[in-house]
Amino acid sequence: MKISVIGAGNVGATCARVLALKDAASEIILLDIVKGMAEGKALDIWQSAPIDRFNARVKGVTNDYNATEDSTVVVITSGIPRKPGMSRDDLINTNADIVKKVTENVMKHSPCTTIIVVSNPLDVMTYQAYLTSGLPRTRVMGMAGVLDAGRYRAFLADELNISPKDIQALLMGGHGDTMVPLPRYTTVHGIPVTELVTKETLNAIIERTKFGGGELVKLMGTSAWYAPGSAAARMAEAITRNQKRLLPVCVKLEGEYGINDTFVGIPVVLGRNGVERIIELKLNNEEKGLLQKSANSVKELMDILDKMRSRTPQIKGSA
């Protein structure tokens, strides 16, 4: 069993390390275009194996996709964060090009893999990987909901002074401020959270979660990596270990929740076959409206990518 992580930057290297700590696969490949970086970080992680007591062999390569041959899961973290003065379209253009090239290389060596996209803008980069790979929608997904739900649960744990392990929460929709909170499905060991915090406090926590990425950018001058790396690793492990975990994941909807051909975060069951089941919750009208709004804003970004793909032959995919 092999997991390849493309991009050995902050998120990619963290993801590889968490995967190793979990022994989520016997081999973990870290790949980057910057010479020596993936090799160095992989060697550093591997040298922690005797200390942290894991067996997974961690290997780094510079742009050598032969090493990724027959990966069960590929996590794509390559891409640049938005820089000052950069428009949203510029970011989509740059990262779509990177994700396309990476996906093409991945597919040459692992035609039956499952892809987890992390690169931003998340929902539209997942769409790009889907179009380029030609894989079924069950095998191309994006990581956002696990991270957003993690942030939400951490803030609730602080507020309630309760272990984060005892807090269960589901979020839906796009990554970031169009995220759809579901307080009805937030419980503390089965106790509805609404019985433990006031509506005002819960709303404040939800707002903080929506802008959780921005809060960290403000503090660090760059985007987060520990929780994002762990979240992607959690998804990859659910697949390699066939855990049937119910997690919020960005997938292409084909009529579920009344939404078509749009990549949206929803609860799914993750196992050896990728997205094995889509869970359709009975949303109330307010929740339905928020989800549709979130899907509409993702669709706008997908349309930008579609226009770019039709204008620019070099970013035209295979599917």
Ligand X SMILES: NC(=O)c1ccc[n+]([C@@H]2O[C@H](COP(=O)([O-])OP(=O)(O)OC[C@H]3O[C@@H](n4cnc5c(N)ncnc54)[C@H](O)[C@@H]3O)[C@@H](O)[C@H]2O)c1
Question: Under the rule (CB under 6 A), what is the footprint of ligand X?
Answer: 6-12, 31-34, 77-79, 81, 95, 98, 101-102, 118-120, 122, 143-144, 147, 175, 223-225, 228
Helix axes 10-22, 226-240, angle to 10 degrees: 40
Least distance (Å) from ligand X to the CB of residue 161? 27
Smaller CB distance to ligand X: residue 189 or 316? 316
Contact 116, 12 (CB under 8 A): no
Contact 141, 264 (CB under 8 A): no
> How many CB atoms lie under 10 A from the CB of residue 185?
16
Contact 298, 304 (CB under 8 A): no
* Positions marked catalytic: 175
Smaller CB distance to ligand X: residue 77 or 132? 77
CA-atom Rg of the chain in angstroms:
19
Least distance (Å) from ligand X to the CB of residue 191? 29
Q: Are strands 245-254 and 73-76 parallel, antiparallel or unpaired?
A: unpaired
Least distance (Å) from ligand X to the CB of residue 73? 16
> How many CB atoms lie under 10 A from the CB of residue 318?
11
Burial of residue 13, with CB atoms counted within 10 A of its CB: 0-12 exposed, 13-18 middle, 19 or more buried: buried
Nearest residue to ligand X, using CB? 9
Least distance (Å) from ligand X to the CB of residue 190? 28
> How many CB atoms lie under 10 A from the CB of residue 286?
9
